[in-house]
């Protein structure tokens, strides 16, 4: 497998600078790698994503005017946004920031399969736990130069295997109906 994202390769940087609705399906099939403290590397193929664009009422940076979400979702594309401190769990749900710096876009990583065990994770908190998505260590990590978390591409073909659906769990009253029913969840079959 090839680690395709290195800081000095311009086209890789540009992949993350695309809008969330383009980045979300592009991430499907990629392998999210996470190095643990003891040196073991976890490899999870991304199976499900959700796009949150700048003008989306469900984007955390729009909902929270200050704090981690407002700051992190406006960082350079390719930055990891860990949603919260773990509070006793081994991990948290997380996004990959999309778009240009200053915009408020990101892609929630909703589902993946552990390539070593074959176990599928389709609940975001459980996926965060399996990947040990630690807020203190990984929040604001940059995929292009991190030794703790990165993406690999093994050439997995996704053409003709991607479905779009409505996003899950958007039931807060302050989310517009058009955003609630938008087909911004991408699944790899």
Residue 3 belongs to some domain of the structure = no
Select the more confidently predicted residue: 86 or 180: 180
Helix (H, G, I), strand (E, B) or coil at 109: strand
45 pLDDT band (50/70/90 cuts)?
A: very high
Q: Does 100 have pLDDT greater than 50?
A: yes
If you average pLDDT over residues 112-125, what whole number do you get? 96
**Average pLDDT of the residues of the chain:** 86
Distance CA 109, CA 125 (A): 10
Give CA angle at 64 (23, 139), nearest 5°.
Answer: 55
Distance CA 38, CA 27 (A): 27
Burial 13-45 (b: 16+ CB within 10 A, else e): bebbbbbbbebbbbbbbbbbbbeeeeeeebbbb
Residue 4 belongs to some domain of the structure = no
Select the more confidently predicted residue: 63 or 159: 159
If you average pLDDT over residues 164-189, what whole number do you get? 87
Range of the domain at 95: 10-188
Residue 23 belongs to some domain of the structure = yes
- Tell me if 68 sits within 8 A of 55, measured CB to CB: no
Residue 149 belongs to some domain of the structure = yes
Distance CA 124, CA 184 (A): 16
Q: For residue 34, what pLDDT is reported?
A: 96
- Token pair recorded at residue 108: 């929630």
> Among residues 97, 170, 183, 92, which one has the least CA distance to residue 140?
97
- Tell me if 174 sits within 8 A of 65, measured CB to CB: no
Q: Does 16 have pLDDT greater than 70?
A: yes
Select the more confidently predicted residue: 39 or 186: 186
CATH number at residue 100: 3.10.300.10
Query: For 46-65, what is each residue's pLDDT tens digit?
Result: 999 999 988 887 776 666 66
Helix (H, G, I), strand (E, B) or coil at 71: helix
What is the distance of C-alpha 123 from the center of its chain?
Answer: 13
> Among residues 38, 49, 156, which one has the least CA distance to residue 94?
49
- Tell me if 149 sits within 8 A of 128, measured CB to CB: no
> Among residues 83, 3, 82, 14, which one has the least CA distance to residue 41?
3
As for how many domains the chain has, the answer is 1
């Amino acid at each position: 497998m090839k680690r395709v994202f290195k800081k000095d390769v311009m086209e890789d940087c540009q992949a993350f600078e695309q809008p969330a609705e383009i980045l979300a399906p592009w991430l499907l099939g990629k392998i999210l790698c996470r190095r643990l403290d003891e040196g073991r590397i976890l490899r999870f193929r991304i199976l499900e994503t959700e796009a949150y664009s700048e003008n989306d009422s469900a984007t955390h940076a729009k909902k929270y005017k200050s704090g981690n979400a407002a700051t992190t979702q406006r960082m350079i594309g390719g930055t990891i946004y860990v949603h919260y401190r773990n509070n006793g769990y081994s991990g948290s749900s997380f996004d990959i920031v999309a778009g240009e710096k200053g915009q408020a876009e990101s892609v929630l990583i909703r589902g993946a399969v552990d390539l070593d065990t074959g176990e599928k994770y389709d609940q975001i908190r459980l996926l965060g736990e399996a990947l040990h998505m630690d807020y203190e260590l990984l929040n604001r990590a940059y995929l292009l130069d991190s030794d703790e978390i990165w993406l690999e591409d093994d050439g997995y073909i996704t053409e003709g295997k991607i479905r779009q659906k409505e996003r899950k769990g958007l039931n807060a009253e302050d989310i517009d109906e058009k955003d609630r029913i938008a087909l911004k969840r991408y699944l790899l079959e």
